[in-house]
Structure 1
Amino acid sequence: MVRLKSRYLLIDILYPDPKTWPTTNPSKPPNPQLAIHAPTSDTLTPGFLAKMVRETVSELYGDWGVGKLGGASAGGLNIKYLSPATSTAIIRCPRPSYRLVWSALTYMSGVPDTNNGGQKRAGTGRERGCVFRVIRVSGTMRKAEEEAIRRARREIVRVKDAEERGVLGGLVGVGDGMDVDVGVGDLSGSEHGMDCGDSD
């Protein structure tokens, strides 16, 4: 009996365009870290995401690409996990064709959004602009899940730190007792115990 090997792609859906960020309070701008990792609309279902990937592979590679995914039904491509709250998904695909799926995700630039009435806008061509980022390619589902959990925990800690310090606090060292003014002599690194390789 032949074992069919698969690859699991852990993807993250990012929203870099500030015009698409959700705002609850117009007077207070949203935290950029939270806004880029904003939740995805419930309109994006696992079946619809698989259909989007198949259509993009078909546009890029034609019948050859669809055949590499498993034929007309493309049964080899499955969405094993999709979380609209964290904008994270795990896609399973045949091992020889994971690069086709990866390239298709690179060319995808939007997800369907809902209008104010809560109706789907998937068929109208109106989409919320996004970027699909492949975080990890794994041979097992377990490793992809572990990476997703690790990244989610790290993002929670990062957002909590940003809220405590303020957005610019970590960039300029305000509140850490560091001096903001940096002179030219400070850039050599010699007084900090680093060897720059310049010996006179």
Structure 2
Amino acid sequence: MKKAGIIMIIGSLLLLGLFKFPLWNIVLGAPQYPDPLGMDIYIQGIQGVEEFDIQNIDGLNHYIGMKTIPKVEDMWEFSVFPKVIGLMVALGVIIGLLGFLGKVSYKWFLGWFIVMSILGLLGMYDFNLWLIEYGTDLDPKAIMKLLNPDGTPMTYKPPLLGYQKMLNFDVDSWPATGAYMIFAGMMLTVVAFFVGRYEYKKKVKTEPILKPALA
């Protein structure tokens, strides 16, 4: 399974892009901000798209009682996620090498994909929980206290994925470069599975022909 093993290794290594590129991007646009405010979410922390974006977002959030954008030390995810990604990259490379050497079945490639898919879903679930807390756990002493038409306090949870109108702000939340690299890497591991299965079946078919010839 040499070809499959190489594809598996390449797919796993693509996840290293998460240490360089943002995983997610949230942008806030409004008439008073000709240049939208944005933040890039990395597995190691959150940064503004422009130099003062985080500072400006925190300033706006202060008026409606939202928490400040968390720093690295404020969230356990920023210390755990890099370790998880590093472990999955190492595991994928090892499986790919063993597949290249014919030491493991092609089914291991699919197993890695399933584990990574579960971890990805858990990560998205955790991210959504953070957005909910961020947008609903408001300071009761906030300067502005806005209500919904039914009289309940207004919340400001950004969308997990897509577009949402929040007051006079247009909020967009979309995957960034790192997320696309994860997707590409995971799809390559699926390709590795099918290539490995094809190589295995081809080997099984040729073995009965080779054995009599060698006898």
TM-score when scaled to structure 2? 0.26
Q: Which has the higher helix share?
A: 2
Which structure is higher in RCO with an 8 Å CA cutoff and minimum separation 6? 2
TM-score when scaled to structure 1? 0.27
